[in-house]
Structure 1
């Protein structure tokens, strides 16, 4: 019932203003990731190397997010960067390398990267991409996304070969949901990988999204549409 004097609905509870949503940095997931990143840095400084034995796909993905968090938020010690020990066998072994990564923003070329043409069919594959296609332990995702990932990687591999670079089987530790290649430019091998970004999402649009590491180096800058 409306009160004729006040114009308010009698008996209605006063509206309670909703609390503002906490910034991402203060949400539980971000706080947990920050704590894990700081703990990793402390261990690397003290121990030199940190090994995570036999991580499953979810653990690999989470460690990648933790390392990315540390890099994006400036948690790495000055003049050092987190890297994976190459050819460290099963598991994940990390250490602090000297100097800025060649892919760091201040090392990137200023000119925008040229778009790389992506093929429309899986034919005449580079041997490394063909091996990924035949592997049952890489790019574990819905078939349509797997095909898109292979097309993206083939496009990059073909462009790398055209420019005179070497395409190799990646030495980086990737999860089963991910697949990639190493592109050797000058004296450094750059890993380019693709993965299903939201594999657990029930939203069809989010579940169909691919994530991809782009190749941006001092000698080569390219971009791809995912």
Structure 2
């Protein structure tokens, strides 16, 4: 790309044409030696069958079972890695529909450094299902005001 008198000029380079034709840069080391890929051509294992996903699914199932049975699960003093892992487990449960019907998993602090999970009723207040429809008014406004509170009347009458 170089700048001409009337603006910018862009052109595809030889390496760019190669990329468009072959799907990789000509100097990519994975495609060195006779142009064959060093990466296996077999499809990769689906995410749901990878060890991390399987372990997370098991943890999520166990967490949901404990929440249903006990009502809450507490961790008194988890380290940062444990908090991050449990957050991922809860996200996995939510993404894969593992929460009990009409319930959602919530997290709150427990004690000074602890963590507590519990099942709350209904959808999350910020869930898409809770958003008003396109035709819904954000705030209902009466067409006629009667018997105003004195403060509201003062605001109405205020010129400023």
**TM-score, scaled relative to structure 1:** 0.39
Match of 1:83, SS state, is: strand
Match of 1:100 in 2: 123
Residue 28 (1) aligns with residue 62 (2): no
Q: How does 1:92-131 map to 2 (within 5 A)?
A: 92-108=115-131
**Taking CA–CA contacts closer than 8 Å with sequence separation of 6 or more, which of the two structures ends up with the larger relative contact order?**
1
Partner of 1:90: 113
| Displacement of 1:108 | 3.5
Q: Distance in 2 between matches of 1:95 and 1:36?
A: 15
Query: Please, which of 69, 74, 81 is the counterpart of residue 58 of structure 1?
Result: 81
- Kindly state the Cα deviation for residue 87 of structure 1 after the two structures are TM-superposed: 5.8
Higher helix share: 2
Structure-2 residue corresponding to 1:80: 103
Q: Calculate the aligned-residue CA RMSD, in Å.
A: 2.0
- 1:206 is matched with none
Q: 1:89 to 1:109 in 2, by over 3 A?
A: farther
Post-superposition offset of 1:39: 0.4
List aligned pairs for 1:204-219, cutoff 5 A: none
Q: Which runs of 5+ in 1 are unaligned?
A: 1-16, 112-226
Note the C-alpha offset of 1:89. Answer: 3.6
Q: Which has the larger radius of gyration?
A: 2
Q: Classify 1:57/1:70 alpha carbon distance in 2 versus 1 (closer, same or farther; 3 Å).
A: same
| Deviation beyond 3 Å, 4+ runs, structure 1 | 85-89, 108-111
With structure 2 as the length reference, what TM-score do the two structures score? 0.54
Distance in 2 (CA, whole Å) between partners of 1:110 and 1:27 is 39
What is the CA–CA distance in structure 1 between the aligned matches of 2:128 and 2:77, rounded to whole Å? 32
What is the number of equivalent residue pairs in this alignment? Answer: 95
Q: Distance in 1 between matches of 2:89 and 2:109?
A: 19
User: Take 1:45 and 1:37, find their aligned partners in 2: how far apart are those partners?
Assistant: 12
